[in-house]
Amino acid sequence: MSATIRDVAKLAGVSVASVSRVLNSKGYISTETKDKVEEAIKLLKYEPNQVARSLTVKKTKTIALFVPDITNPFFSTLAKGVEEQANSKGFTLILCNYDESGGEKNSHIDLIKQKYVDGIIFAAGKLNPRDAVKIKHSKIPLVALDRIPDMETECVIFVDNYKGAKMAVEHLLDMGCKKIGHIYGPQEISTARDRLLAYEDVMRDSPLYSPSLMTSGDFTIESGIEATKTLLERHPDLDGIFAGNDMMAIGALKALHRRGIKVPEQIAVCGFDGISLTEVTNPELTTVAQPTYEIGKLAAESLIKFISDLYFNEKIIKLDASLVIRESTKKIGVKL
Amino acid sequence: MSATIRDVAKLAGVSVASVSRVLNSKGYISTETKDKVEEAIKLLKYEPNQVARSLTVKKTKTIALFVPDITNPFFSTLAKGVEEQANSKGFTLILCNYDESGGEKNSHIDLIKQKYVDGIIFAAGKLNPRDAVKIKHSKIPLVALDRIPDMETECVIFVDNYKGAKMAVEHLLDMGCKKIGHIYGPQEISTARDRLLAYEDVMRDSPLYSPSLMTSGDFTIESGIEATKTLLERHPDLDGIFAGNDMMAIGALKALHRRGIKVPEQIAVCGFDGISLTEVTNPELTTVAQPTYEIGKLAAESLIKFISDLYFNEKIIKLDASLVIRESTKKIGVKL
DNA sequence: GGATGGTATGTAACCGGTATCCTACACTTG
DNA sequence: CAAGTGTAGGATACCGGTTACATACCATCC
């Protein structure tokens, strides 16, 4: 169908090796042959076959992104960052909606393993052990989010969750909150642990501190609603909620609204992540924003650099989150 | 590094052809050799190299999804449907965040063209002419959303936007609204046109109908806010808004809230799309929900079927949208 | 008993690139 | 002038599969 390198070689009256040299600007080539080859390429509308190329070089200019749920705005923002960076470097992105439970369905890892994917960005919280072994065994370079690097071909990017969470709780205190509850996420996930830890460290000294001010959620809106109900039952005099992520904070907002509790007047609410949803709630939600898009971009950039040069400039990259103050914590006339 | 088909053949004491036959359950094979081969495969932990395979069969078990913005919940939901369906069929998904403006950056189409991508799902609104030609020329099977099929290798899936919009406007009338404004989306996009058309058809007979009840937006929250301001200036007695999509409806909600106008008591608001955001607004938003996830699933299913059998069961698939009634239109004590 | 046909398997060309190796020429340079 | 070096380009093995073709055996059938 479409032209091959041999067609080009024939038309230009040179060998395939010379065409290849022109294509890759590699090796010695006279300007004369170079021109002839380029002429032939144009004439035949030749485009090199990437698959054939990949077979020998064992690279495909393709990276894979693993996310737990692309529907979650945090991950779609991340994906956008990754995709745009990858594209700008001539890479193609494979999207894997990774459900750690695995089950009997096709494992994404099996599917991509023999496709010579150049690298993986792993943004899903948990990795099931079977898949972890597969990845490690495959030696595919990896950039992970929020975990400890344990192979050579691995780089980790993470946001300082502890510091971010600390800012959030301190902000609530600044706004005059005394009795602040925390809805924490699944403790298998390190980010959730760090946020809880920061909350405890800040609050421990408070005279009103109590373990019953902390309750669990699973990062969904629904769990935020439930957790808020629980907190209100335990502490009717609650005046602040720090949720482990934005989705649960939105749940809190919903639960409070249903009970007719005014935010922020009666209870201030703060989330974590900085997803775009926080701008559409009413009241708009104060949150600790992660530079999500940038994380994606940076992850792709680091990975591609590794793929090209085979080393990571930095194995651990730490970023800061920033507090975005909105209506949900703006108590006017803070009483001291 | 890892075992090849020749290693397996050698260990099993057969030819590579026989191994290939076992691998693809194709051609005659005695149970005896089959067993030997399978034994060798297991022993060597052999996994066929997909790239080498692709080179001859010219297929990669890969499909590409083009979306204008993965960050938009509508498209991420779609993507999830596509991804899960593709994965279940052993296919891998390439995500292309397609910005029709193109610019000078790498064209996704160029990037995937020579990678033997088996098919494309095109969900981005506009396709720039240069890329359109490229796709058509490449003969890659395509499933498109909301457009007219114009090649053999094309199938189109679309939701009956007209009917859906009609339901929305009629619902607003049912709720007692008399003066209903419409914020329409970019008219180059057919879905936006159909929704506007339905609005006009339903409202034309109303005594209060006026072209000034229609104003434009660009499908973003911000434009929804602006459009709502415009409508309110023109018609202070407005009592209903039908927005061309959910994002603009959310903008409307915001604008109304800022002016202290109560929804739905004073003005009822209805969106279109059924994105998950509509459940987090306050009040929750009535919307015409598209079966977004299912569309994605169906698109992938049709495409993969075409790739396998080389024909589409149906070239045009029409789906229905459904009205999801929530707080934003629940006028109690409808006056007649 | 030779022709026909289904079953089983091996050989090698092929897909379309890359890369190694080799030849060849034109220069320095000691 | 022989040796060394930089430049140019051809021939071809190779990557790891698939598949067309050839071969061979064993039934069956007229």
What pLDDT, in 10s, does the model give residues B283-293?
A: 999 999 999 99
Give CA–CA dist A123/A293, Å, rounded.
Answer: 13
Whether B40 contacts B11, CB under 8 Å: yes
Q: Which two tokens stand for residue B80?
A: 């999830």
DSSP helix, strand, coil percent of chain A (3-state; round to 5): 45, 15, 40
Confidence of residue A100 (pLDDT cuts 50, 70, 90): low
What tens digit of pLDDT does each residue of A158-176 get? 899 999 999 999 999 999 9
Distance between the alpha carbon (CA) of B16 and the C1' atom of D15, Å: 15
* pLDDT of amino acid A187: 93
Residues in chain B with CB shorter than 8 Å from the CB of A83 are 70, 95-97
| Residue A336 pLDDT greater than 50, yes or no | no
SS3 letters across A10-59: HHHCCCHHHHHHHHHCCCCCCHHHHHHHHHHHHHHCCCCCHHHHHHHHCC
* pLDDT of amino acid A305: 93
Q: What are phi and psi of B243, to 5 degrees?
A: -95, 145
Beta strands of B167-253 (E only): which ranges?
180-184, 214-216, 240-243
Confidence of residue A43 (pLDDT cuts 50, 70, 90): very high
Whether B206 contacts B233, CB under 8 Å: no
Q: Say yes or no: Cβ of B44 under 7 A from any atom of strand D.
A: no
* pLDDT of amino acid B257: 94
User: B87 and A111: CB-CB below 8 Å?
Assistant: yes
* pLDDT of amino acid A105: 62
A80: nearest CA partner in chain B = B70
* pLDDT of amino acid A332: 61
Distance between the alpha carbon (CA) of B26 and the C1' atom of C3, Å: 28
Residues in chain B with CB shorter than 8 Å from the CB of A279 are 221
Give CA–CA dist A18/A29, Å, rounded.
Answer: 7
Closest CA relative to residue A109, chosen from A152, A142, A156: A142
B63: nearest CA partner in chain A = A94
Whether A94 contacts B65, CB under 8 Å: no
Confidence of residue A138 (pLDDT cuts 50, 70, 90): confident
Nearest CB among A79, A84, A281 relative to B282 is that of A281
What tens digit of pLDDT does each residue of A258-287 get? 999 999 999 999 999 999 889 989 899 999
Q: Say yes or no: Cβ of B58 under 7 A from any atom of strand D.
A: no
Closest CA relative to residue A148, chosen from A318, A321, A330: A318
Provide Rg for chain A, Cα atoms: 26
Our CA-based measurement puts residue B116 at a distance from the nearest CA of chain A, in whole angstroms, of 7
Confidence of residue B103 (pLDDT cuts 50, 70, 90): low
Confidence of residue A333 (pLDDT cuts 50, 70, 90): low
Amino acid at the residue A42: K
| Residue A55 pLDDT greater than 70, yes or no | yes
* pLDDT of amino acid A90: 93
User: Which nucleotide is nearest to B17 if distance is taken from CA to C1'?
Assistant: C10
Residues in chain B with CB shorter than 8 Å from the CB of A99 are none
Average pLDDT over residues B206-233: 95
CA of B204: how far to CAs of A264, B194, B216, in Å? Answer: 44, 15, 18
* pLDDT of amino acid B101: 63
CB pairs under 8 A between A and B: 147
Q: Which two tokens stand for residue A322?
A: 């920033």
Closest CA relative to residue B75, chosen from B197, B247, B198, B195: B247
Distance between the alpha carbon (CA) of B47 and the C1' atom of D22, Å: 29
Parallel/antiparallel/unpaired status of strands A62-67 and A92-97 = parallel
Share of chain B above pLDDT 90, in %: 76
Lowest-confidence range among A244-258, B80-94, B133-147, B179-193?
B133-147
User: A95 and B94: CB-CB below 8 Å?
Assistant: yes
| Residue B61 pLDDT greater than 90, yes or no | yes
Q: Annotate B237-306 with DSSP letters as a single string.
A: T--EEEESSHHHHHHHHHHHHHTT--TTTT-EEEEEE--GGGGTSSSPPEEEE--HHHHHHHHHHHHHHH
B109: nearest CA partner in chain A = A92
> Which of B71, B276, B297 is the best substitution to test chain A (most A C-beta atoms within 10 A)?
B71
Residues in chain B with CB shorter than 8 Å from the CB of A65 are 95
Average pLDDT over residues A62-83: 94
* pLDDT of amino acid B128: 76
| Residue B150 pLDDT greater than 80, yes or no | no
CA of A151: how far to CAs of A133, A141, A158, in Å? Answer: 11, 9, 17
Give CA–CA dist A318/A155, Å, rounded.
Answer: 11
Our CA-based measurement puts residue A105 at a distance from the nearest CA of chain B, in whole angstroms, of 6
Which residues neighbour A140 within 8 Å (Cβ) at sequence distance 6 or greater? A113, A117, A118, A119, A120, A153
Name the burial class of residue A187, with classes exposed (0-12), middle (13-18) and buried (19+) by CB atoms within 10 angstroms of its CB: exposed
Residues 50-79 on chain A lying near strand C, CB distance under 7 A = 52-53, 55-57
Q: Say yes or no: Cβ of A278 under 7 A from any atom of strand D.
A: no
- Residue count of chain A, please give it: 336
Closest CA relative to residue B251, chosen from B276, B269, B275: B269
**Helices within A68-189 (DSSP H only):** 73-88, 108-113, 129-138, 161-174
Nearest CB among A76, A92, A111 relative to B111 is that of A92
Distance between the alpha carbon (CA) of B35 and the C1' atom of D28, Å: 29
Whether B82 contacts B121, CB under 8 Å: yes
Q: Say yes or no: Cβ of A89 under 7 A from any atom of strand C.
A: no
Nearest CB among A52, A65, A108 relative to B87 is that of A108
Give CA–CA dist B225/B255, Å, rounded.
Answer: 5
Place of tokens 């406007």: B169
| Residue A109 pLDDT greater than 60, yes or no | yes
Q: Say yes or no: Cβ of B1 under 7 A from any atom of strand D.
A: yes
Which residues neighbour A27 within 8 Å (Cβ) at sequence distance 6 or greater? A21
Give CA–CA dist B163/B167, Å, rounded.
Answer: 6
B103: nearest CA partner in chain A = A88
Protein-contacted positions of strand D (CB under 7 Å): 7-12, 14-21
What tens digit of pLDDT does each residue of A184-223 get? 999 988 899 999 999 999 999 899 999 999 999 999 999 9
User: A282 and B279: CB-CB below 8 Å?
Assistant: no
Whether B182 contacts B196, CB under 8 Å: yes
How far does CA B150 lie from the centroid of its chain? 19
| Residue A335 pLDDT greater than 60, yes or no | no
Confidence of residue A1 (pLDDT cuts 50, 70, 90): low
Share of chain B above pLDDT 70, in %: 96
Before B264, cis peptide (omega within 30)?
A: yes
Q: Say yes or no: Cβ of B36 under 7 A from any atom of strand C.
A: no
Which residues neighbour A313 within 8 Å (Cβ) at sequence distance 6 or greater? A302, A305
Cα-Cα-Cα-Cα dihedral sign, residues A108, A110, A115, A120: positive
| Residue B336 pLDDT greater than 50, yes or no | no
Q: Say yes or no: Cβ of A17 under 7 A from any atom of strand D.
A: yes
CA of B56: how far to CAs of A49, A57, B50, B52, in Å? Answer: 12, 17, 10, 7
